[in-house]
Structure 1
Amino acid sequence: MPETSSTTAVTPLPPLAAQAEHLIELGVHELAGIPADELRAFAAGNADGGADGALLAVHPDRAPASALASLLRHAGKPGFVVTDMPDVDAFAPYGITLPDAPLYLVAGPDRGDHMANWSPEEALPALTGQGRTPLLLTEGIHWVIQQPAVLERNRCFMTIGSRLRKANGALDARTPAIWISNGTGRDGRERRNAPKVGWCWWGNRHTWLGFGSASDRRHQGASRPPA
């Protein structure tokens, strides 16, 4: 295995109620077709359920990556999807069963700095062997929306829980990642320092990309406001 790097500390996530309000402010509830009160009720119903430090996520079927990416912010600039990833929403959970609900919790998200300079091919079995589950692309986007400081120069991350299955059944060699644009090439100079949703090859290593993962996913507590 490649050498590991030190892990950079990341501040705790906001309380679930604050996460819900932030999503509402951004209009994510409208995008997902979820009433604002339902989103608030879900957060309130999980506040005392051992959900400290959990990320509130919207199911990707309700809020796809292409719609969420523009809500990312870094250095005052909005996020974007690279031009050669028009099929970004076709990257689906791979080997992962999501809660059958529009809203769920992602527990213990970690950026995986210690796996910088590993390839996705090397990182996946290591993560699962540790009892962790790789983040989906949409979960990674939700995380940066709620906690922009997660994205740092030379400390960004891949989201290899999302893969694309080709028409012939084979897996596409691209694996999604979230990092910070240098404003070069097709990104455009005006996007320098903007959050970027892109991809890397399954077998390649990058010293500046860790692997986002979680301890588990769950759906619990109230998801609908009282009548």
Structure 2
Amino acid sequence: MPETSPSGTVTALPSLAAQAERLIELGVHELAGIPADELRAFAANAGDEDGGALLAVHPDHAPASALAPLLRHDGKPGFVVTDMADVDDFAPCTVELPDAPLYLVTDLDRGDHMADWSPEEALPALAGQGRTPLLLTEGIHWVLQQSAILERNRCFMTIGSRLRKANGALDARTPAIWISNGTGRDGRERRNAPKVGWCWWGNRHTWLGFASATGRRR
């Protein structure tokens, strides 16, 4: 299990080389149309001076719907809730991504200290701390690399991804990653499976923090 601070800060992400091999093992490079050697070269040349950055594939190359089934918890694969068929339409909002298929996300924090905050409350607070909310795909990448970061009653939202409606307004759903209880439409067979779902913009949940980072770079 990775070491974490009380607020959920990871202190020991795998090396970038190890992260690249993990993505290759899972077939993420094939989903993204990126040769394995290119992924390895990026990891080798990126350096690791950030003290444990997360290697991420741009969501245009590897969308959430393709990544979610690769998640595992208690031996069960991840899934996207049935009422989020438009999951891949949740795009970066208030977040600027590097213009590259591969990039690094620095200084991850699970945001446990913001549990029982609403997304509406958390977003300006993160900005005030000089932090940026994770995208849904970045959150999935994090769990792919460190499955133990997803703990029952200590899961997280990824409010850097939002859905903009045709009229320009933002959808009130905000994405999150947690562990299914196997109730309702999830189905009993999915109990303890990693779940990509959503919560309302103005609602609070005691078991959801707000995952964030200090920045992104190529």
TM-score by length of 2: 0.96
Consecutive unaligned residues in structure 1, runs of 5 or more: 1-5, 220-227
- Superimposed CA distance per residue, residues 118-149 of structure 1 (whole angstroms, 9 cap, x where no aligned partner): 00000000000000000000000000000001
Q: Which residue of 2 aligns with 1:16?
A: 16
3-state SS of paired residue (2:198): strand
Large movers: runs of 4+ above 4 Å: 8-11
Consecutive unaligned residues in structure 2, runs of 5 or more: 1-5
Read off the aligned partner of 1:24 and give its amino acid letter. I
Residues 71 and 123 (structure 1), Cα distance of their counterparts in 2 relative to 1, 3 Å cut: same
Q: Which residue of 1 aligns with 2:41?
A: 41
Q: Which residue of 2 aligns with 1:31?
A: 31
* Residues in 2 aligned to 1:198 and 1:84: alpha-carbon distance in whole angstroms: 8
Any residues of structure 2 matched to 1:1-227 within 5 Å, and which?
6-8=6-8, 10=10, 12-48=12-48, 50-219=49-218
Read off the aligned partner of 1:189 and give its amino acid letter. R
Task: Give the CA deviation at 1:10.
Answer: 4.3
Read off the aligned partner of 1:106 and give its amino acid letter. V
* Residues in 2 aligned to 1:178 and 1:201: alpha-carbon distance in whole angstroms: 14
Task: Pick the structure with greater CA Rg.
Answer: 1
- Superimposed CA distance per residue, residues 4-30 of structure 1 (whole angstroms, 9 cap, x where no aligned partner): xx5356451100000000000111001
- Superimposed CA distance per residue, residues 3-60 of structure 1 (whole angstroms, 9 cap, x where no aligned partner): xxx5356451100000000000111001101010000000000235x13210000000
RMSD: 1.0
Q: Which residue of 2 aligns with 1:3?
A: none
* Residues in 2 aligned to 1:213 and 1:131: alpha-carbon distance in whole angstroms: 10
Matched residues, number? 213
TM-score by length of 1: 0.92
